Amino acid sequence: MCLKDKIFAAGVVGCGGAGFPTHVKLAKKVEYLIINGAECEPLLRTDRYIMTNFADEIVSAAEAVRNEVGANLCVIALKQSYKEEISALQKSITAGGFSKTINLHFLETFYPAGDEHIIVREVTGRVIPPSGIPLDVGCVVLNAATMLCVHGAMKDEPFTDKFLTVTGEVNTPAVQKVPIGTLFSDCIEKAGGAKTDDYIIISGGPMMGKVITREQSHSEVVTKTTSGIIVLKKGGVIEKTNAMSIRQMLNRARSSCIQCNYCTQMCPRYLLGHPIEPHMIMRKTGLNGSLDGLLADRDIQNAVLCCECGVCEVYACPMGLQPRRINSVIKAALAEAGIKRGGDDGQKAESKMRDLRKIPTKRAAARAGVVDYYDFDIKELIVFEPTKAELLLSQHIGAPSVPVVRDGDKVAKGQTVAKCPDGKLGANLHASISGTVKIKEHSIVIESRG
């Protein structure tokens, strides 16, 4: 079985983003394989822990994938401030005899350094077309945590456990290794519990993550793409921003947007020359008061180019408006209406101000109201296994996995419980704990008791 087939069999998907099935990324030959170790979001420490403690596995997998995709060079891109990680990786590269095929590329500490378009530009100098992907410029980008899963696949080990950061208002901030399907509330408990009774939770990072309530933590489960669980006191910037309805956002855009265009001037994708202009989107949606009749407008359609990094609303806007969230609403509306961005890509020259407008990551954390947790030195690993795991059938880009087990079946950890539909984009799913199966509409529950 070739490496690509092993990765498919193991159910490996991207750990650092939307969960694109990894085997599909390896289907074409490229010039560059880029391993993304930038750990884009403030507060998260998962990739840093993995690069420090599993450097041999990452480097070994990187060389195997480089050969699979025929790349001339593999570049592991990480921030120049990551001293321990750099030392561990360089030692593994030298010991493995890979110095001619695997290099390290040192990034400045700016946000969002780990964005796929940004990291390709930093490493290769090439700009991915506005509606394009790294393959368009001869690159494949894989996250550092994904490479650890690839290493497991090389040994025929399925993707069953997830590394993630649990931090913020918890007593023991740590990196955790937990079975996929573990409850968020269990992860928080294993981090020593929350320091306060009145809190919200961010699934992911503070800039792009999803806000959930304390109550929802008892039903929200870890997926293959969960990168972090951040516990925050209620009443902060992130909670207030996310509490607004679409109607409130549009009303505020109409009454408060001063068309300063800072949101556009600071947008990382605009600075690459992509034709997205958040201030124009704010102007048109605000004046219209809704999206009715706007989806055919070219400026509005350019919202699909938004990477939702949050720079526009967390950092740039002096009026506290929500360009990122409005872009997200537009993207969903365009998708529902079946409307694709028309015309050519509209690529412009890269902004000469790009290097001067890179946002220091710590400053982004301060604007997001989470700077108190920024300098946590997280090096502890907590490993545990719950008695119950709920595996979502859709936790990746593509078609949901199809169960191949039935109610009452006994399964062992690592056993295939759902498969990618034939001929579809998707991923296999494996039991993350041993136990008895219960099939639900959108998930498979495994309980080890009884």
Q: Give the pLDDT of residue 16.
A: 78
User: Number of C-alpha atoms within 13 angstroms, CB side, residue 137?
Assistant: 20
CB atoms under 10 Å from CB of 96, counted, come to: 16
* Band (161; pLDDT cuts 50, 70, 90): very high
Q: Are residues 286 and 324 located together in one domain of the fold?
A: yes
Question: Out of 80-94, 182-196, 215-229, 328-342, which region has the weakest mean confidence (pLDDT)?
Answer: 328-342
* Band (53; pLDDT cuts 50, 70, 90): very high
User: What's the CA gap between 182 and 59, in Å, rounded?
Assistant: 29
| C-alpha closest to that of 363 among 278, 266, 269 | 266
Q: Are residues 116 and 54 located together in one domain of the fold?
A: yes
Please report, for the domain that includes residue 83, its CATH number: 3.40.50.11540
Residue at 363 is within a domain:
no
Question: Out of 266-275, 343-352, 399-408, which region has the weakest mean confidence (pLDDT)?
Answer: 343-352
Q: Give the pLDDT of residue 157.
A: 98
User: What's the CA gap between 213 and 198, in Å, rounded?
Assistant: 10
Considering its fold, how many domains does the chain have in total? 4
| C-alpha closest to that of 388 among 231, 205, 178 | 178
User: What's the CA gap between 146 and 65, in Å, rounded?
Assistant: 12
* Band (83; pLDDT cuts 50, 70, 90): very high
Residue at 348 is within a domain:
yes
Query: Domain span at residue 195?
Result: 160-236+369-386
pLDDT at 397 over 60: yes
Residue at 224 is within a domain:
yes
How far is the CA of 369 from the CAs of 93, 171, 196, 400, in angstroms? 38, 19, 17, 36
Residue at 324 is within a domain:
yes
User: Domain boundary residue among 127, 154, 181?
Assistant: 154
Contact 72, 31 (CB under 8 A): yes
Q: Are residues 143 and 250 located together in one domain of the fold?
A: no
φ, ψ of residue 236 to 5 degrees: the values are -85, 180
Q: What are the tokens at 198? A: 């009145």
pLDDT at 450 over 70: no
Please report, for the domain that includes residue 406, its CATH number: 2.40.50
Residue at 38 is within a domain:
yes
Q: Are residues 89 and 185 located together in one domain of the fold?
A: no
Residue at 241 is within a domain:
no
pLDDT at 371 over 60: yes
Tell me if residue 105 falls in helix, strand or coil. strand
Q: Are residues 354 and 413 located together in one domain of the fold?
A: no
Q: Are residues 267 and 226 located together in one domain of the fold?
A: no
* Band (449; pLDDT cuts 50, 70, 90): confident
Q: Are residues 144 and 13 located together in one domain of the fold?
A: yes
Please report, for the domain that includes residue 254, its CATH number: 1.10.1060
Q: What is the mean pLDDT of residues 164-187?
A: 98
Q: Are residues 142 and 21 located together in one domain of the fold?
A: yes
Please report, for the domain that includes residue 213, its CATH number: 3.10.20.600
Q: Are residues 231 and 373 located together in one domain of the fold?
A: yes
Q: Give the pLDDT of residue 344.
A: 77
* Band (289; pLDDT cuts 50, 70, 90): confident
Percent of the chain with pLDDT over 70: 100
pTM exceeds 0.85 for this model = yes
Q: Are residues 174 and 40 located together in one domain of the fold?
A: no
Tell me the pLDDT tens digit for each residue of 9-34. 999 999 977 899 999 999 999 999 99
Residue at 77 is within a domain:
yes
Q: Are residues 270 and 401 located together in one domain of the fold?
A: no
Residue of 386 and 254 predicted with greater confidence: 386
Cis peptide before 421 (omega within 30 of 0): no
Residue at 364 is within a domain:
no
Q: Give the pLDDT of residue 240.
A: 87
* Band (165; pLDDT cuts 50, 70, 90): very high
* Band (37; pLDDT cuts 50, 70, 90): very high
Mean pLDDT taken over the chain: 95
User: What's the CA gap between 228 and 236, in Å, rounded?
Assistant: 18
Q: Are residues 376 and 307 located together in one domain of the fold?
A: no
pLDDT at 351 over 80: yes
Q: What is the mean pLDDT of residues 438-448?
A: 97
User: Domain boundary residue among 126, 154, 182?
Assistant: 154
Q: Give the pLDDT of residue 243.
A: 84
Q: What is the mean pLDDT of residues 418-432?
A: 97
Q: What is the mean pLDDT of residues 426-432?
A: 98
Q: Give the pLDDT of residue 146.
A: 97
Q: What is the mean pLDDT of residues 182-208?
A: 96
Contact 76, 102 (CB under 8 A): yes
Q: Give the pLDDT of residue 242.
A: 85
